[in-house]
Amino acid sequence: MTNSSKPHSALRPTLSIFDVVAITVSGISPASSLFVIAPFAIKQSGSGAFLAFVMAALLALMFAYCYAELGLAHKSAGGDYVYATRIFGGMIGFMTFVITLALLLFIPPVLATGAAVYLNAALSTNFDPQYVGLLIIVLAYLCGILNIKLNAFITGFCLFVELIAILVMSLLGFGNISQPVNILFEPQIFTNGVLHMAPWTLVIGSLGIALLSYNGYGTAVLLSEDMTCEGKKVHKAVLWSLLIVVILELLPLTALILGAPSLEVLIRSSDPIGYLFLSHGNELIKKIISAGIFLSVFNAIIALVILISRVIFSSGRDLLWPSRLNRLFTNIHPRFNSPWLATLFLALPSALLTFNSNLGELTSFSVLLIMLMYFIVSCCALMSRIVLKGHSHPYSMPFWPLPAIVAMLGSGFLIVDLIMATKTRDIVIIFSVLLVSCLYYMRYGRFILNFQANRKNHASM
């Protein structure tokens, strides 16, 4: 790489740890996760949803330790696939990249289409979810090519509005406690017209749902090259992001369960959070909160687009594509200092997916892919110190290798559980995609021969 190309193929570090945490938490969107995902846990395990979210937080901490150690030891905008490549070799690394690419493609349109429900609730309208989703995707990708510091401000402001929505819900619940505290630790479920103790199998079965609601804290590692501290605090960004998200989701969930006038109605309701608002608030409050949730979803997609651009940029730098695409993906916009072509790469397919009538199935498909990613990352964290003995690991997770082992076993258990409940078609699709990625690597995997040299050249800039 010549000196003349450096200004056009390197990210400019402008983000503080606060900016990185703001973007990461915005991408997780605690409010929309709580409003969209938590009701499934309540329906499945009743008040046991509280314990499911607590256990999920502990398991998420194990994953966060893995991301924190790997993120600081292998600072890269590529994240997961870079770790897998360095530790397990090119084929596993490329398969990890393909899984990441699939997730980055599916999640934004799923969120965008779901946002229409809250827009219609806020405005008392009946807009078509697909066209609302399309508009959100277009606007989010346009925002994504802007300067990342400006986007950090935008996501920070939207996150503030999201916090207000969460605070209102928490105050409504804790200000009108109607249930005894012991139902949090003695979970109740409503079946066959009777309230009774929820079996632990149902509580554990909700663990995957709760874990999905926290998902995204590990994406802080993708912004390590954008940090002014040269990524030296990226591990703190991961751990702070998880802590904030757990608090912002667990607190209002507790308020929701304790503040429900009737636990039976809460569990049976298709909209348990709306039930709380109508019980202790009014229709105006519900509309205001719905507007806040819509904004939080839009904010989440902007943050996801930023993260998408970093992975695609890194893949071009690591020569995962034909030479012409590699040059395009590493091109930095002269005004916005963003990898704008890498940002726009998935814009069209994401927009087209908003017209898919089976986005619900794409959601369950994405959950399985997320668990696969967690399993790969936990394996990387377990083996990184062993395989790369001469490589520096500035941050060491406490009690290594215990967190990595727990993370690997936990994600492995959830993968098996999800596969048992997943349609055969989805499993065939995943294995087919992985098989195609293996064949592609075997045919065009020469890029890996240049991988380490390319990374060293980048590190010396």
pLDDT 10s digits, 38-96? 888 898 899 999 999 999 999 999 999 999 999 999 999 999 999 999 999 888 999 99
Count CB atoms within 10 A of the CB of residue 326. 18
User: Nearest CA to 49 among 170, 174, 188?
Assistant: 188
The predicted pLDDT at position 207 comes to 87
pLDDT band at 217 (very low <50, low <70, confident <90, very high): very high
**203 assigned to some structural domain:** yes
Give the number of domains in the chain. 1
Residue 266: domain span: 13-459
Cα separation, 321 vs 441, whole angstroms: 11
Domain assignment present for 272 = yes
- Please indicate, yes or no, if residue 432 is contained in any of the structural domains: yes
pLDDT averaged over the chain? 86
The two counts, helices (H) then strands (E), for the chain are 22, 2
Q: Please write down the long-range contacts of 7-10, taking CB distance under 8 Å and 24 or more positions apart.
A: 7/332, 8/330, 8/331, 8/332, 8/334, 9/317, 9/330, 9/331, 9/332, 10/332, 10/458, 10/461
Q: What is the pTM of this model?
A: 0.88
Looking at residue 318, what is its pLDDT? 87
In a domain? residue 319: yes
Predicted local distance difference test score (pLDDT) of residue 51: 95
The residues pairing with 227 across neighbouring beta strands, listed in sequence order, are 15
Residue 7 lies in a domain: no
| E strands present in 130-255 | 188-191, 194-197
DSSP state at residue 196: E
Q: How far apart are CA 261 and CA 24, in angstroms?
A: 35
Please say whether the beta carbons of 144 and 157 come within 8 A. no
Does 132 fall in a domain? yes
Q: Is residue 195 part of a domain?
A: yes
- Residue 49 · residue 41 · CB < 8 Å: yes
- Secondary structure (3-state) at 254: helix
- Rounded CA separation 311/79 (Å): 7
**pLDDT band, very low/low/confident/very high, at 446 (cuts 50, 70, 90):** low
Tell me whether residue 8 is in a domain.
no
Give the torsion through C-alpha atoms of 69, 72, 74, 78, to 10 deg.
Answer: 100
C-alpha span between 251 and 231 (Å, rounded): 31
CATH label of the domain that carries residue 386: 1.20.1740.10
Residue 203 burial (C-beta neighbours within 10 Å; 0-12, 13-18, 19+):
buried
Per-residue pLDDT of 151-184, as tens digits, reads 888 888 888 888 888 898 899 999 999 999 999 9
